[in-house]
Amino acid sequence: MDNLSRRKFVTKSSATLAALATLPAAPLFAKSLDDSGLAEVFKDDFRVGTAISTDTLANNNKKMLALIAQEFNTITAENDMKWEMMRPSLDQWNWKLADRFVDFGSRNQMLMVGHALVWHSQIPDSVFFRNSGKAKSREELLTIMEEHISTVVDRYKNHVAVWDVVNEAVDVKVWRRSHWHNIIGSDYFEHAFRYARNADPSAHLIYNDYSMDNPDKQKFVVRAVRDLRKQGVIVDGVGMQLHAALDGPSVERIESAILRFARAGLRVHITELDLDVLPQVSDYTGADISTNYTYAKRLNPYTSGLPKSVEAQHTSRYTELFELFVKHRDKIDRISTWGTTDGESWKNGWPIKGRTNYPLLFDRGYRPKPAYFSIKDLKLQK
């Protein structure tokens, strides 16, 4: 942390992203709007960002980092603020890559999103269980949760303005039966947000989840957030991950979700946008990281490149999504893709390992794809 403490950081302006939107955008090197990055093109609408991978941070991928600095003004740590990376055991902290993430974001005056403080996945079993295999008590786990949240949030206070406090806690109409839930109870959700708010009262706190286009899930989340308000705990925004496919979810379902969350007083963040172009394995539309299917060649048809017809669908789909986002720019604070180039996308390994996918706006050679130019044209042609 020494290198961080010596630097002069940009301080968060307020607890709301409406105010955060006034922060200066990342430096952009283009001289004309046509050549500007996405952040500059959409500066009057919302912030545009990406997730930075462990590989990019660990290997100091200068080409990738330069592209990110050119195109985006908000970043999320894809993995390096998750529990297993930052704290592989209860008595061991590893700040190296998280510090590197914060250093990069601060130097480029970017809005940084911490992801994620409380999640059921990518977390050591020792958080929940003793060496004997017996589960820890509710009181023990609450103490661990509070200590973890306060330590992480306090370390990056005045640097990280936004936190995904709880990630993927809802299974459509009920709470996910995670270790957090099973040991503490459903009020772990309340405690997580209370601890985060106490650690940094000015932070913008988010609940983040996939399949947020599902009306039943929306209803459950809105009710949970309202229940927290009655307890004096404020959730500022909701993260719609939006891991989409060529044929769904529909624009109408996404729009309905945006409107519902906005009516509930929540700022909307599109947090993990990508667009799967490969054949779907089943009718499962979620994004549970534990989901896994067997590889079959027919499910990996584009190993030599994406056919023009599919590329056209990819472009059209991204364009209609951004048309929707611009339409509701008064409700949306941020659009973040889950990765920058196709080669680094998690979709190459999920839900089937070893496939070649094309879900993002830049190809494996760091070049912008047709979808990139199409969404920019939404603004440039006006």
Q: Model confidence over 335-357: pLDDT tens digits?
A: 999 999 999 999 999 899 999 99
Catalytic site residue from 40, 71, 168, 190: 168
Alpha carbons 215 and 102: distance in angstroms, whole number? 36
Q: Is the pLDDT of residue 20 over 50?
A: no
Q: How far apart are CA 204 and CA 168, in angstroms?
A: 18
Residue found by looking up tokens 């983040």 in the block: 208
Q: What confidence score (pLDDT) does residue 182 get?
A: 99
- Structural domain range at position 117: 2-380
- Tell me which DSSP letter residue 27 carries: P
**CB neighbour list of residue 89: distance below 8 Å, 6 or more residues apart:** 124, 126
Lowest mean pLDDT among 33-42, 45-54, 149-158, 275-284: 275-284
Contact 217, 211 (CB under 8 A): yes
* Residue in this structure with the two tokens 């989340």, named with its chain if needed: 221
The reported pTM is: 0.90
The residue from 272, 320, 323, 344 that is catalytic is 272
Distance CA 235, CA 51 (A): 22
As for how many domains the chain has, the answer is 1
Question: 118-152, pLDDT tens digit by residue?
Answer: 999 999 999 999 999 999 999 999 999 999 999 99
User: What pLDDT digit, counting tens, does each position of 63-97 carry?
Assistant: 999 999 999 999 999 999 999 999 999 999 999 99
d(CA 242, CA 85): 24
- 8 Å CB contact between 53 and 79: yes
Quote the CA–CA distance of 298 and 135 in Å, as a whole number: 43
Quick: pLDDT tens for 180-237. 999 999 999 999 999 999 999 999 999 999 999 999 999 999 999 999 999 999 999 9
| pLDDT(101) > 90 | yes
Q: In whole numbers, what is the pLDDT of the chain averaged over residues? A: 92
Query: Is 190 an active-site residue?
Result: no
Pairing of strands 174-175, 204-209: unpaired
The DSSP code for 381 is T
Neighbours of 326 (CB within 10 A): 18
8 pLDDT above the threshold of 50: no
- 370 CB-contact burial (10 Å; exposed 0-12 / middle 13-18 / buried 19+): middle
Partners of 279 in the beta sheet?
none
Residue 6: pLDDT over 80: no
**Residue 272 annotated to the active site:** yes
Query: Which three-class secondary structure state does DSSP give residue 343?
Result: helix
Nearest to 358 by CA among 249, 240, 279, 242: 279
Dist CA 265 CA 122 (whole Å) = 31
Q: How wide is the angle at C-alpha 103 spanned by C-alphas 113 and 350, nearest 5°?
A: 50
Residues 6 or more apart in contact with residue 114 via CB below 8 angstroms: 77, 81, 152, 153, 156, 160, 162, 163, 164
Return the axis-axis angle of helices 308-327 and 370-380, rounded to nearest 10°: 30
Q: Which residues pair with 334 in a beta bridge?
A: 47, 269
Which amino acid is present at 14?
S
User: In angstroms, rounded to a whole number, what is the distance separating the alpha carbons of residues 244 and 242?
Assistant: 5
Residue 180: per-residue pLDDT: 99
- Taking alpha carbons only, the member of 34, 35, 44, 101 closest to residue 74 is 101
Q: What percentage of the chain reaches a pLDDT higher than 70?
A: 89
Task: Tokens for 3, please give them.
Answer: 């290198």
Q: What is the three-class DSSP state of 44?
A: coil
| CATH number of domain containing 334 | 3.20.20.80
Q: What is the DSSP string of 205-239?
A: EEEEES-TT-HHHHHHHHHHHHHHHHTT----EEE
Question: What residues have CB less than 8 Å from 127, skipping those under 6 apart?
Answer: 83, 90, 141, 144, 179
